[in-house]
């Protein structure tokens, strides 16, 4: 096989231990030459990826993570600090809120929404949830009930929701959040 038609593969070749009991061969290194150099430093960077290609490392996403991310958001609501809630959204995050007809697509717009919503002292409780997991992405959709307080007292408001989270840097951030009151039956 010539260099020009070498397969672009990486991994480990399993060797028959009866024939060569001490033999080990990395296919990545056996096919590396000036055309396919080993890249990366080994200190957190992908290694064994050609320089003109990329390697995505997927962060673990689980049902428990979905629960934890909702609780983090709900806890931020309890602080009454709109800025603390807004920090949980990505810079390019989208909020389609429950009690506003205006889509919020900037941190300033999201913060403005929460400035007013937090006056109601909302506390959310998940009623049903459906979680979809992807590479560095998690979608949590279902129903929740908000207990809110206004001049008429305390009331429960059932709503539908979708949170889409993405792993950005070291944190999971909300990139899309849609919430709407349940239609009356």
Shared-domain flag, residues 40 and 79: no
Confidence of residue 27 (pLDDT cuts 50, 70, 90): very low
CATH number at residue 124: 3.10.450.50
**Mean pLDDT for the stretch of residues 32-44:** 48
Answer yes or no: do 122 and 141 share one domain: yes
> Which sign, positive or negative, has the C-alpha torsion 69, 75, 79, 82?
positive
pLDDT, tens digit (0-9, with 9 covering 90-100), for 40-74: 444 555 555 556 666 778 998 999 999 999 999 99
Whether residues 124 and 69 fall in one domain: yes
Q: Provide the number of structural domains found in the chain.
A: 2
Shared-domain flag, residues 26 and 70: no
**In which order are the strands placed within the sheet that holds 123-134?**
89-96, 171-181, 153-168, 137-150, 123-134
Query: Which pLDDT tens digit goes with each residue over 127-173?
Result: 999 999 999 999 999 999 999 998 999 999 999 999 999 999 999 99
Domain check: are 76 and 165 in the same one?
Answer: yes
Containing domain of residue 67, as a range? Answer: 63-181
Q: With 90 as the cut, is the pLDDT of residue 112 above it?
A: yes
Compute how many other C-beta atoms are within 10 angstroms of the C-beta atom of residue 107: 16
137 and 91 belong to one structural domain: yes
- Pair (50, 71) in one structural domain: no
- Can you point out the beta strands (E) in 4-152? 89-96, 123-134, 137-150
Element (H, E) at 159: strand 153-168
Number of other residues whose CB lies within 10 A of the CB of residue 62: 11
Q: pLDDT value at position 121?
A: 96
Question: Which of 34-39's residues contact partners 24+ apart within 8 Å by CB, and which partners?
Answer: 35/3, 35/6, 36/6, 36/8
- For residues 123 and 151, state if they share a domain: yes
Are residues 135 and 81 part of one domain?
Answer: yes
**Is a pLDDT exceeding 50 seen at residue 85?**
yes
Looking at the structure, do residues 82 and 131 belong to the same domain, yes or no?
yes
Q: What is the mean pLDDT of the chain?
A: 81
């Amino acid at each position: 096989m010539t260099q020009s038609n070498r397969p672009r593969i990486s991994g480990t070749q399993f060797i028959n231990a009866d024939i060569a009991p001490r033999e080990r061969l990395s296919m990545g290194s056996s096919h590396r030459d000036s055309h396919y150099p080993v890249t990366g430093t080994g200190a957190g960077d992908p290694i064994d990826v050609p320089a003109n290609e990329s390697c995505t490392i997927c962060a673990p996403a689980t049902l428990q993570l979905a629960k934890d991310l909702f609780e983090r958001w709900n806890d931020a609501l309890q602080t009454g600090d709109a800025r603390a809630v807004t920090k949980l959204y990505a810079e390019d995050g989208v909020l389609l809120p429950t009690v506003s007809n205006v889509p919020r697509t900037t941190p300033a717009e999201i913060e403005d929404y929460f400035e007013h919503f937090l006056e109601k002292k909302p506390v959310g409780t998940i009623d049903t949830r459906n979680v979809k997991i992807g590479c560095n992405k998690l979608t949590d959709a279902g129903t929740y009930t908000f207990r809110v307080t206004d001049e008429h007292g305390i009331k429960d408001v059932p709503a539908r929701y979708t949170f889409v989270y993405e792993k950005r840097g070291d944190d999971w951030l909300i990139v899309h959040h849609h919430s709407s009151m349940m239609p009356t039956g």
